[in-house]
């Protein structure tokens, strides 16, 4: 289940719309799965349910969301847990990091937005001082995590150390902390190699609902799902920019 009202900003502007899409929409999907005897349900969650904390984020931290978006994703995780324990649906909640990559023209997260603005000759606007951190994950790595969850064997009777993943959450990110200023500098450098230079960058006020620091401990996903990230940020950014340039060209 990948559909959602995405991002902190839209949820702050219209919390009811965010709730209706992400909470009621999630409930409707789980109910459809229950009524149609769907065995397994993979939910796209986020690090946002945790809220402000000392990173790295891990699955045992108590959630304290600071935005309506984080609250709606936390509700989704709760329903996943309940539908596994009540109805036996094999639910898995994957907490995505900040996803980027090709085919992201419709996204307004920082990498997609800044790339589109740079190619259009627009000024890039960084909220706050740019020292806030995020964990950026390339789309191909994310897809592999979803595949791992979809194809996970329910139980191996010969594995006495088997830990059930059902009803559980997993951090799906890179275990790397990168500031917004750092990722902006990397984008500017790669864009200059493609001939896009003299791109203006400005700072504006802090955005309501944003956390200061965010990156994830992905050891649980490695242990139980057998997944780990493969794409380095510089490589992923270059492939993303190449896609956007090809699309614009």
* Active-site amino acid positions: 69
Round to whole Å and give the CA distance between 103 and 141.
Answer: 14
- Neighbouring residues of 234: CB distance < 8 A, sequence distance ≥ 6: 186, 190
Would you say 113 and 122 are in contact if contact means Cβ atoms under 8 Å apart? no
Tokens for 118?
């740079």
Would you say 72 and 208 are in contact if contact means Cβ atoms under 8 Å apart? no
Kind and range of the H or E run holding 171: strand 168-172
If we measure between CA atoms, which residue out of 137, 152, 156 comes closest to residue 229? 137
Round to whole Å and give the CA distance between 40 and 89.
Answer: 6
Burial class (CB in 10 A: 0-12, 13-18, 19+), 157: exposed
If we measure between CA atoms, which residue out of 134, 138, 110, 104 comes closest to residue 124? 110
Q: Report the first-to-last Cα separation within the chain, whole angstroms.
A: 33
Kind and range of the H or E run holding 187: helix 180-193
């Amino acid at each position: 289940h990948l559909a959602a009202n995405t991002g902190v900003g839209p949820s702050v502007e219209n919390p009811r719309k965010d709730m209706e899409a992400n909470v009621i929409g999630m409930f409707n999907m789980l109910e459809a799965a229950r009524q149609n005897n769907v065995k397994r349900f993979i939910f796209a969650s986020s690090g946002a349910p945790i809220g402000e904390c000392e990173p790295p984020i891990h699955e045992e931290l108590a959630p304290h969301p600071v935005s309506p978006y984080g609250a709606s994703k936390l509700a989704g995780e709760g329903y996943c847990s309940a539908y596994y324990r009540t109805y036996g649906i094999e639910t898995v909640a994957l907490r995505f990091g900040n996803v980027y990559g090709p085919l992201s023209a419709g996204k307004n997260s920082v990498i997609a937005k800044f790339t589109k603005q740079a190619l259009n000759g627009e000024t890039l606007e960084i909220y706050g001082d740019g020292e806030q951190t995020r964990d950026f994950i390339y789309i191909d790595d994310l897809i592999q995590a979803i595949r791992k969850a979809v194809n996970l064997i329910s139980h191996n009777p010969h594995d006495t150390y088997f830990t059930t993943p059902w009803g559980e959450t997993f951090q799906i990110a890179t275990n790397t902390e990168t500031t917004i200023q750092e990722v902006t500098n990397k984008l500017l450098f790669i864009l200059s190699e493609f001939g896009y230079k003299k791109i203006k960058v400005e700072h504006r006020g802090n955005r309501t609902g944003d956390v200061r620091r965010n990156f994830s401990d992905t050891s649980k996903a490695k242990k139980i799902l057998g997944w780990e990230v493969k794409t380095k940020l510089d490589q992923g950014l270059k492939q993303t920019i190449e896609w956007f340039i090809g699309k614009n060209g």
